């Protein structure tokens, strides 16, 4: 373990929990490469031992994480059906999303890695960071029970992810990527792919507001094209918001008529 990895107290402070059994946190931070190297060294010294690593703890932590997120989503979104809840949970617990809290907690600084893994940049590898995060969740659960693990998950994983989902996709539906949802909807209706146009960017560089338009072309069946526009603090956020409006419009037309496609004169923001 390098010098930056010695101050476990700093990690405990970041986690918001002081461990009664520090060996649990130590094991959660131990990669298999370190454990195997330690075993080989001990055997060479005439004292064979089995060193624990974080692989089994990762398995347990993944289950605790899924349980806590499922419980919170079930409680917070009673109007969602099972498919929506599953999609939202999968988004929140995906490795790509778990990488953010792992990096924010600087878990890589505390990992116990074998020399080869350390030299190859293991402290920055996404898989190792996410696995260690899940192992830490297991350590919290084993040290202090489900409530302690639940608090950690809410603070560092669930709440930040829900805040980002709301910012980019709105409050009502658990659609994490409205651009993809819109693309699927127009494809199902036989329309060409939508276009996104930057209309304007206003404000100082540190606080710009972008206005984007989503242009949905006419369908082969004669349904008119239409445009929806929206603002956001980034181009990506504005595109997502405009795509959401267009997607929701197509959904409302589908629900009202039983078929995909706008009713007559659908344009709310001018012709495409």
pTM of the model: 0.64
Same domain, 73 and 125: yes
**Measured distance CA(2)–CA(113) in Å, rounded:** 9
Same domain, 25 and 157: yes
Token pair, residue 103, equals 């990096």
Same domain, 14 and 127: yes
Residue 251 forms part of a structural domain: yes
Q: What is the pLDDT of residue 5?
A: 40
DSSP string over the chain:
--GGGS-HHHHHHHHT---SSHHHHHHHTB-HHHHHHHHHHHHHTT-------SHHHHHHHHHHHHHHHHHHHHHH-TTS-HHHHHHHHHHHTSHHHHHHHHHHTTGGGG-B--HHHHHTTGGG-HHHHHHHHHHHHHHHHHHH-HHHHHHHHIIIIIHHHHHHHHHHH-SSS--S-HHHHHHHHHHHTTPPPPEEEEEEEES-GGG-EEEEEEEEPPPTTSPPPEEEEEEESSHHHHHHHHHHHHHHHHHHHHHHHSSSSPPSS--SS---
Query: In terms of residue numbers, what domain contains 242?
Result: 178-257
Cβ–Cβ < 8 Å for 35, 53:
yes
Q: What is the pLDDT of residue 123?
A: 94
Same domain, 92 and 189: no
**Measured distance CA(72)–CA(250) in Å, rounded:** 30
Residue 47 forms part of a structural domain: yes
**Measured distance CA(172)–CA(79) in Å, rounded:** 10
Q: What is the pLDDT of residue 237?
A: 85
Number of domains in the chain: 2
Q: What is the pLDDT of residue 164?
A: 81
Of 167, 188, 221, the one marking the end of a domain is 167
Question: What crossing angle do the helices spanning 235-257 and 159-169 adopt, rounded to 10°?
Answer: 70
The per-residue pLDDT string of the chain (272 residues; one tens digit each, 9 = 90 and over) reads: 444 344 788 999 999 999 999 999 999 999 999 988 887 876 776 666 667 899 999 999 999 999 999 999 999 888 788 878 888 898 899 998 999 999 999 999 999 999 999 999 999 999 999 999 999 999 999 999 999 999 999 999 999 998 887 766 554 445 557 888 888 889 888 899 999 999 999 998 888 899 999 999 998 877 889 999 999 888 988 998 899 899 888 888 776 654 444 333 333 333 33
Same domain, 120 and 244: no
Q: What is the pLDDT of residue 79?
A: 79
Same domain, 160 and 119: yes
Is residue 62 among the annotated active site residues? yes
Q: What is the pLDDT of residue 81?
A: 81
Q: Which one from 62, 117, 161, 248 is the annotated catalytic residue?
A: 62
Q: What is the pLDDT of residue 205?
A: 84
**Measured distance CA(197)–CA(228) in Å, rounded:** 10
Q: Which one from 134, 213, 239, 260 is the annotated catalytic residue?
A: 134
Is residue 134 among the annotated active site residues? yes
Of 167, 189, 212, the one marking the end of a domain is 167
Q: What is the pLDDT of residue 145?
A: 97
Same domain, 34 and 161: yes
Q: Is the Cα torsion angle 162, 166, 172, 176 positive or negative in sign? A: negative
Residue 262 forms part of a structural domain: no
Residue 21 forms part of a structural domain: yes
Residue 78 forms part of a structural domain: yes
Q: What is the pLDDT of residue 268?
A: 36
**Measured distance CA(163)–CA(144) in Å, rounded:** 27
Q: What is the pLDDT of residue 169?
A: 53
- Measured in whole angstroms, the distance separating CA 7 from the mean position of its chain's CA atoms is 28
């Amino acid at each position: 373990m390098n010098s930056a990895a010695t101050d476990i107290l700093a990690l405990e402070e970041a986690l918001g929990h002081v461990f009664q059994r520090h060996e649990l946190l130590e094991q959660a931070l131990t990669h298999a490469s370190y454990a195997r190297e330690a075993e080989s060294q001990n055997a060479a010294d005439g004292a064979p031992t089995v060193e624990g690593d974080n692989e089994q703890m990762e398995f347990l932590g993944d289950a605790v994480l899924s349980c806590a997120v499922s419980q919170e989503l079930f409680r917070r979104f009673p109007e969602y059906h099972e498919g929506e809840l599953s999609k939202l949970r999968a988004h929140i617990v995906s490795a790509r999303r778990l990488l953010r809290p792992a990096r924010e907690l600087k878990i890589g600084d505390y990992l116990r890695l074998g020399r080869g893994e350390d030299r190859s940049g293991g402290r920055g590898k996404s898989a190792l960071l996410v696995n260690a995060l899940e192992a830490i969740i297991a350590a919290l659960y084993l040290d202090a029970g489900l409530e302690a693990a639940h608090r950690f998950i809410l603070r560092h994983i669930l709440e930040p992810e829900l805040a980002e989902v709301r910012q980019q996709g709105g409050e009502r539906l658990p659609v994490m990527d409205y651009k993809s949802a819109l693309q699927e909807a127009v494809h199902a209706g036989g329309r060409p792919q939508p276009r996104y146009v930057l209309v304007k960017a206003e404000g100082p560089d540190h606080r710009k507001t972008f206005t984007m338009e989503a242009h949905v072309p006419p369908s082969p069946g004669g349904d008119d094209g239409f445009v929806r526009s929206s603002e956001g603090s980034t181009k990506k956020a504005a595109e997502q918001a405009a795509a959401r409006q267009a997607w929701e419009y197509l959904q409302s037309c589908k629900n009202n008529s039983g078929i995909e496609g706008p009713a007559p004169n659908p344009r709310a923001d001018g012709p495409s």
